[in-house]
Amino acid sequence: MPESSYSQGRTLANAGPAVELSFLIAEVVVGLSAICYAELATTVPVAGSAYAFSFATLGEMVAFVIGMDLVLAFTVGSTALATSFSQYLGVVLGAPRSRSPSDCLRRYRG
């Protein structure tokens, strides 16, 4: 397994014996969230996720805020995913580490 600046194994080792408890708590919370979404999907059978559910139950203004929150969450999430994937891929392919885009440009310009 390639090594990068973030390692789940190192994080779990630093967390200590509470790892199992924290995973159990997270699983319960995710399970309750899934049950809520399943109940909402049967109550409001339209496509649209949290936006549609909030529009049907709380109104247009709250739905707009929820929709903008989803846009922000998906943007931040995809940015984090792209960053971590590119870092991991760079480690797998043996690319030299760099800290900034300008550092990369200086290194590859010659």
- Domain count for the chain, please give it: 1
Residue 2 is assigned to a structural domain of this protein: no
Digits of tens for pLDDT over the chain (110 positions)?
Answer: 445 555 667 777 777 788 888 889 999 999 999 999 898 888 888 887 888 888 988 899 999 999 999 999 999 999 989 888 887 887 777 776 666 667 767 766 65
Q: Two tokens at 47?
A: 């496509």
Residue 67 CB coordination number (10 Å): 17
Residue type, 18: A
Contact (Cβ atoms closer than 8 angstroms) between residue 53 and residue 36: no
Range of the structural domain that residue 18 is part of: 8-109
Residue 3 is assigned to a structural domain of this protein: no
Residue 36 is assigned to a structural domain of this protein: yes
Residue 45 is assigned to a structural domain of this protein: yes
